[in-house]
Amino acid sequence: MFSQEILKGTIKPIIIKLISDNGRMYGYQITQRVRELTAGSITLTEGALYPALHKLVADGVLNVETEWTGNRERKYYSLSKGGAKAAAAKLEEVGESIGVLAELFGLRPPACGGR
Amino acid sequence: MFSQEILKGTIKPIIIKLISDNGRMYGYQITQRVRELTAGSITLTEGALYPALHKLVADGVLNVETEWTGNRERKYYSLSKGGAKAAAAKLEEVGESIGVLAELFGLRPPACGGR
DNA sequence: AAATCATACATAATTAGTTTATGCATATGA
DNA sequence: TCATATGCATAAACTAATTATGTATGATTT
């Protein structure tokens, strides 16, 4: 069982990670992809997702382009030029942080040669 | 650089982990131990720590005993009888969650034989 | 002697982030 | 026709953390 409380503070990094990997994505797609990648463990709610996306745009990290497929609106997000550097730094920071937590909680078997 | 935002939602599990490992600890000691174990990466602020401790007591997870060493007050916390089971479950949940995040962020080299 | 730091507790106001609930709109399948 | 899926969005309520204080003692530094 995934602990949703751990998710706090990770939504923006998750968005950045997915967009970094896929070039550009739209909101609904992000929720589906996260569900897929985590085998249902993580569910991003709209109430958390959309404000986070808007904030990333406001902060200049992401760009938005609105497109219409048939009669349906989609807002594609991608890393802004300036945002790409910030995003990479952020991801590294998050990686380190997760590593620290993993170690603190004894989740890194030393035999495995932790990174 | 550790991202404090990742810390959100992990304070109570961290407390539980340390007390599980050490039997009983007092607040200030927990802050010092966490700093030590994480080589300064994680700093628990009092404003987050004490309310969390009080809540764990209120929830019946922890017991408190007040002691005096010289003229200084210490409140030792330990797992309550009922809390031990809940604590173990919580720690497993957190372990899984960190694992899911690690995988999502690509922090688990498959060569290492993910868990 | 005074100031600063370490130990040790605590709370209150503010800020931030999430959940829950709701809303709009189109398309599809039961 | 009603539920489900797609796709966006926001607002109220809740939870949790930061920041800023506050009390008090002991040790160390200036």
- Per-residue pLDDT reduced to its tens digit, A24-81: 999 999 999 999 999 999 999 999 999 999 999 999 999 999 999 888 999 999 999 9
Residue A36 contacts B where some CB pair is shorter than 8 Å: no
Query: Which has more confidence, B18 or B108?
Result: B18
Least confident of A4-8, A13-17, A98-102, B37-41: A4-8
In this predicted structure, the answer to whether residue A114 has a pLDDT above a threshold of 60 is no
Give A96 CA → D16 C1' in Å: 23
Residue among A30, A91, A98 with most chain B CBs within 10 A, to mutate: A98
Least confident of A10-14, A59-63, A87-91, B1-5: B1-5
In this predicted structure, the answer to whether residue B71 has a pLDDT above a threshold of 90 is no
- Helix, strand or coil, per DSSP, at residue B69: strand
In chain B, beta strands by DSSP E: 24-26, 62-69, 72-79
pTM of the predicted protein model: 0.92
Which of B3, B10, B101 is the closest to A93 by Cβ? Answer: B3
Nucleotides of D under 7 A from a protein CB: 6-12, 16-22, 25-26
Tokens for A79, please give them.
């890393």
Strands B72-79 and B24-26: antiparallel
How many CB atoms are located within 10 Å of the residue B13 CB?
Answer: 24
